[in-house]
Amino acid sequence: MKYDISVIILTYNVKILLKECIESITSKKNVEIIVVDNGNDDTYKLFKRNKSIKYIKNKENIGFSKGNNQGIKISKGKYILILNPDTKLEKDTLDKLYDYMDKNQNVGIATCKVLLPNGKLDTACKRRFPTIKNSIGKIFYLEKVFKSFSGYNMTDIPDDKEIQIDVCTGAFMFTRRDALFGNKKRKGIGFFDENFWAMGEDIDLCYRTKLAGWEIRYFPKTKILHYKGASGGLKSTSKKFTKADISVKRRWARAYTESMILFYKKYYKDKHSIITNMLVYYTMKILYIIKYISIR
C-alpha cells in the first residue's frame, strides 16, 4: 500500500512524550506511522492495539542515523517526515507541508517553525552550514559579542519569513522520497550517514541534499512544539521529562564532539592546512572534556 506521508519516530528515553507526539499527528492525507524503539522505551504496549502503527524494536541504542534509516527503508510514503518524539504538531502541519512540497518540486527537504516550550524559536530549525569561524562563534558564545562571529543560526532573518536555508533540525525534516531514493531522472542522495551516532547527521544529510541540487526550505506558515533534548538529557528545555542518567548524558556529549569532527573531516579537511586541522581536532576534544566534567 502506498501512502502520502510516512512519519518516522525514533524513540529513546521519552515514552511519556511519544504518546503525546503520536496523538498530535493529524492529516487529511493517507499517513503511515513508523515507530523505532531504540532499545529502552519498551513502547510496544502503547501500540499493540493500533494496527496502523508499524513498530521496530531494537535491543540496544544503535544511534539516531541507524534507527531512522530502519524506518526509512520500510516506508512507503511519497514524503517522509523524520520526527522527534519530544515534539507536538499543529493540526494543519502535515497537510500544509504536503501541499507546499507538491507546489515546489525542487525542494528536497522542508521544515516549519519549531518553537521551544518558552515560545522562542528553536534556532536549529534554520541554519547555515558550519564553518570554522561561525562554529567558534556559536560554541564559545562569541556571536553574542562580535557580529563577525555570527551567522551559523539564521537569527538575522525574520522568523516568519519563508526562505531557503542550508540546514534544518533533525527533529522535523519533511523529505521528498525521490530525493532520498532517487527516480528515473535523478540519483538519490541516500539516507543518514550511519557513521554519525547522534547529532550532526541532519547537517550531513542537508549538505548532501544541497550538493545534489535540491533546495531546503524553511516554511513558517505552520509550527510545532519541540521540548528538545529529552533523549540525551543535556537540554534545560526538557529537564523535567528526561530519564537520561549520567552515563547517557556523557554518551550524548561525546557524540556531539565526535559528530563535529566527523563532519569536518568529511567535507573540510582537504580545504585547510594540517595545522588548522589539528587545531580544530584538539579544540573539539577540549570542548568534550569541559562538557564531560560539567555533566551532573
pLDDT 10s digits, 213-233: 999 999 999 999 999 877 766
Please tell me the predicted confidence (pLDDT) of residue 268: 96
DSSP-assigned letters across all residues of the chain: --EEEEEEEEESS-HHHHHHHHHT---SS-EEEEEEE-SSS-THHHHTT-TTEEEEE-SS---HHHHHHHHHHH--EEEEEEE-TTEEE-TTHHHHHHHHHHH-TTEEEEEEEEE-TTS-B-GGGSBPPP-HHHHHHHHTTGGGT-GGG--SB-TTS-TTS-EE-SB--TTEEEEEHHHHHB-SSSB---S--TT-SSSSHHHHHHHHHHHTT-EEEEEEEEEEEE---TTTT--GGGTTT----HHHHHHHHHHHHHHHHHHHHHHTGGGS-HHHHHHHHHHHHHHHHHHHHH--
Q: Find the range with the poorest average confidence among 9-18, 92-101, 165-174.
A: 9-18
Please tell me the predicted confidence (pLDDT) of residue 28: 95
Q: What does the domain layout of the chain look like in residue ranges?
A: 3-232
Residues 5-20 have pLDDT tens digits of: 999 999 988 888 998 9
- pLDDT band of 142, cuts 50, 70, 90: low
- pLDDT band of 29, cuts 50, 70, 90: very high
Please tell me the predicted confidence (pLDDT) of residue 251: 83
Please tell me the predicted confidence (pLDDT) of residue 235: 64
Mean pLDDT over residues 75-94, rounded? 97
Choice between 135 and 163, residue whose per-residue pLDDT is larger = 163
Please tell me the predicted confidence (pLDDT) of residue 247: 82
Please tell me the predicted confidence (pLDDT) of residue 236: 64
Residue 150 above 80 pLDDT? no
Mean pLDDT over residues 205-219, rounded? 98
Residue 48 above 70 pLDDT? no
Residue 49 above 70 pLDDT? no
Q: Assign a CATH topology to domain 3-232.
A: Spore Coat Polysaccharide Biosynthesis Protein SpsA; Chain A (3.90.550)
User: What does the mean pLDDT of the chain come to?
Assistant: 90
As a dihedral over the C-alpha atoms of residue 230, residue 251, residue 257, residue 287, rounded to 10 degrees, the angle is 100
Q: In sequence order, what are the beta bridge partners of 219?
A: 112
